[in-house]
Every structure is written in structure tokens, then in C-alpha cells.
Amino acid sequence: MSFPERELTRLAAAVLQPGFVGTTPPPWIRRWLADGLGAVVLFARNVAGPEQLAGLTAALRAERPDVVVAIDEEAGDVTRIESTRGSSRPGNLALGAVDDPALTEAVARDLGLELAAAGVTLNYAPDADVNSNPGNPVIGVRSFGADPDLVARHTAAWVRGLQTGGVAACAKHFPGHGDTRVDSHHDLPVIGASGAALRAGELVPFRAAVAAGVQAVMTGHLLVPALDPTLPATLSPYILGGLLREELGFHGVVVTDAIEMRAVADRYGLAGAAVRALAAGADAVCVGGEHADEETATRLRDAIVAAVRGGELPEERLAEAAKRVGELAAWTVAARARTTGAARPGATVGLAAARRAVRVTGTPAGAGLLPLTRPPHVVEFAPPRNIAIGPETPWGVAAPLAALLPGTTTARYDRDATPTDPTAEAVGRPLVLVVRDLHRHDWMRTAVTRALAARPDAVVVELGVPELVTGAVHLATHGATRACARAAAERLTAG
């Protein structure tokens, strides 16, 4: 077959999932939807509140009723719909710590109903990575845990819950981003595991997601020499075809992680990476976290058309990709219709999950330190931001503690500004030290060690991965969401 130029251009637009700036659709997005654009992706910058979001998606749907509206809402530290307040849900690691798949499914279903009511139809979640490397700088609490079987059962539960709620799930980051010390936003991670180890570890949750009927899988920008010694997973015909399609039996939409991430864009260029991904077997190209403009979308669309005309991208492959996107669009229309008007449990299910995830570890020296009965001084140690989380999302325990114990004071320090004695302002008061991934940050460990030497009665609250337990009383929330912080404050004051 040989498509005329206009049809080929429409097919190229159909496989793009661009972002844009603003809380209403810009004119170029409206024009592109009329000309074949199959999907858009929303970020925190596009969301001001539930009513605004519903209005935004309605405006998109007025241009194309079956447009796929995607979002990256993990319902944990990574949140787009609650980025200005912090998530009302606890996130994956907390759900894994509770290890109640029915609870995980309930949390995900509630999220699905909320997103569907707002007009979102595809969620780039759940994170199905096995966080087997505690030093991982980008996954951490986004994972359900370090055990493949635990991650698998909660990945399947999350997929079932979200899709029962009316929104397509997207398991990520295939074939698994958990065993890395490199963030693919910045460079290309290399996964050194053997093929047998990958099949017994990283791939187990993705098999479970496929078995649960997941509608989409997101690729990871990862080099996995045991599977493909030269090409990152996103660009590898074997990983996307032989492994994901044939061995795992996945028939849904394969969407790339953001194509502008440096792991692939620095090596192949934005357009080059997009074309190679489609040729390898991807069906949709996510772009727009950083390049959210018509010029970028045009460059990618024109590069796809040129690649077909030049023989680099088979016409049949592009048509297949566009067809799969259309099938996903049809699924989302039907799923959303099924859930219209369905009742939600609301924030209660998220807070209940966060409460169940709190773990307190104590030594004999910590007897009597909880509950806090007087306003404490809270010292929060702020690590560098994970780019996936976003700079606007608040975190910390001081605010919910102050609501329970008026008069609570706080100080926040980072690696560039931490005093020799961070306990100085806490004389005569209870002291709470709040950390995130204490095991990964030398400066933070040094500061906390000094603080505990001066104040062995200090309570340590870990909002990240609780790999390093220290202090006479250590409280782990398994996440830094608003729900996790409130659950921590309640436990600190209730004992």
C-alpha cells in the first residue's frame, strides 16, 4: 500500500502524544486534533483544579470525541492532579508495605473514577519496576517494592482497579528501571542482569500486568545488554517485538517514555529517536514535558513522514501503530461510559492506606518518646528533587503536626545549607528529624548523625525508602505524599 501525502501526515500525527502549555487547549492543539492527532498528554502545568481539568478535556473532546487524554498520575510522590497540595493517596511503596492487593485495587479504582470524571482516559501508571537497587535515584518509593512477586501482585491489582474505574493503565518502564543508579532523564542506564535473572525478576510484574489486561506499556530508555547489546529498549526491535509482543503476549499500545529524555535524545536526536522507536515496534511517542510546542510536534510528524518516504520506517508499521492507538481510543470511550456517575469512596481510602503503611521501630532508649504531647521543633532535610516528581509538589511533616500541636516550629535544610548543629533551635522541646532516602545522601547522614549525637531523644521520620533505620524511634511512611505526612503526624501524636 502507498498512502497519499495527507493520509500519511494524519497517520504520523495519530501516533504522537504531545504536551502543551496552559490550562486551556492552545489553537495549535485544536487544529492538530482536527487533522488526525490521536492523543495529548497533560502535566501539572495544565491542571488548576477538578472543574478546570474537566473543562479542558471537554474542549479537547469537542475537537475529537475519541482523543486519548493521557496523564502521569502515579497517585504517590509523582502526582499531576494534586501537584500543588501533594497526593491524597500514599503511593506504591506504601501499598506494597501494607501488602493487601484488595486495598491497592480499591485505591487505584478510586483514582480511575476521579480521572475518568475529569475526562482523562490513559494514565501512565502503574510503575511496575522492581526497586532492587536501593541506590536508585529515580524509582524508589514509586515502586511497590524490591520483591518481584510482591510487585507483580500489586501491579496486577493496580491495573484492575484503574481500568475498572474507567481509565486505561500503562505499566512502566519496560523491561524494568529498578536496578539502576542512573536516571534516564539525564543519561542512559545500563542493566547488567542476565536474561535468566531478568525473567525471574524485572519481567515478572510486566507478565502480571499483561495477564491483568493492561491496555498500554511504557518503554524504559534503558540499555539491557543481555537482551540487546547495542540499542536502548525503546529502540530495540527484539525487546519490543520478540520479548514484549511474542514472549509476554502483549497486544496493546506500546508508548515511549518521554522521547526528549537525554538517555535517547542525546544519542539519536529527538526526531531520530522517535522514528527508531516506531520502527522498533512502539505505537505512540510521548513528548512535551520539556518541548511542549507546535514546532517540536511538527518536527516529529514531518520526520515520521520522511522516514516512511525514505524507507527507514515501513508504511505498514506506521499504519499498525496508528490502528492500535485507535483501538485504545475506542476502549477508553467505552470504559468511560461504563463508569459515568459511579460513586467514589473518595479521600478516605487513600488516607486509610497511608495509615496502614506507617511502621515504627524503636529501641529501649526510645521508650516514652511517643506520643508527642508538646509542640516539637521539626527539622526537614531536603534532598535534590527527582525530576519526575516536579518542583511544585509540597512535602514534609511539619504542617500536619502543627495542625495537631499548635506551636510546632520547623526548619528545612539542603545539602548546600545545613548548619553544624541543626538541633540548636530545639532546646527544651521535642525534636523531629524528617528525611527522604537517608541511605542515599552522605550530607544528610552526616547531619542526622550529628543531630542524634546531640539529641538522642530525637524522633526520625523517613518519607522515602526506609533502607537505613536509625534513632531511638524511627517512623517510616514509605512515601512523602500529603496522606503519608498526615498519617505520620497522627502516629507521632497518638503513640
Q: Which residues are catalytic?
A: 185, 257
Task: At 334, list the grid cell.
Answer: 467505552
CB 160 within 8 A of CB 204: no
Number of residues that make up the chain: 495
- CA dist., res. 495 & res. 484, Å (int): 16
- Does residue 68 sit in helix, strand or coil? strand
Which of 171, 233, 234 lies closest to 198, judged by CA? Answer: 233
For residue 491, what are the contacts with CB-CB under 8 A and spacing of at least 6? 355, 358, 360, 370, 475
Give the Å distances, CA to CA, from 115 to 7, 11, 30, 275, 335: 32, 27, 22, 31, 12
The alpha helices in 45-100, defined as continuous H runs, are 50-63, 92-98
- Under 8 Å CB-to-CB from 55, ≥6 apart: which residues? 24
Rounded Cα–Cα distance for residues 424 and 195 (Å): 53
Sequence-separated (6 or more) residues with CB below 8 Å from residue 238: 227, 228
Amino acid 404 reads L
* Residues of the chain by 3-state class (helix, strand, coil), percent to 5: 45, 15, 45
Sign of torsion over alpha carbons 349, 355, 356, 357: positive
Angle at CA 156, nearest 5°, toward 152 and 160?
Answer: 170
Q: At CB < 8 A and 24+ separation, what contacts does 351-354 make?
A: 351/88, 351/483, 351/486, 351/487, 352/103, 353/89, 353/90, 353/94, 353/95, 353/98, 353/103, 353/107, 353/483, 354/89, 354/90, 354/94, 354/477, 354/479, 354/481, 354/483, 354/484, 354/486, 354/487
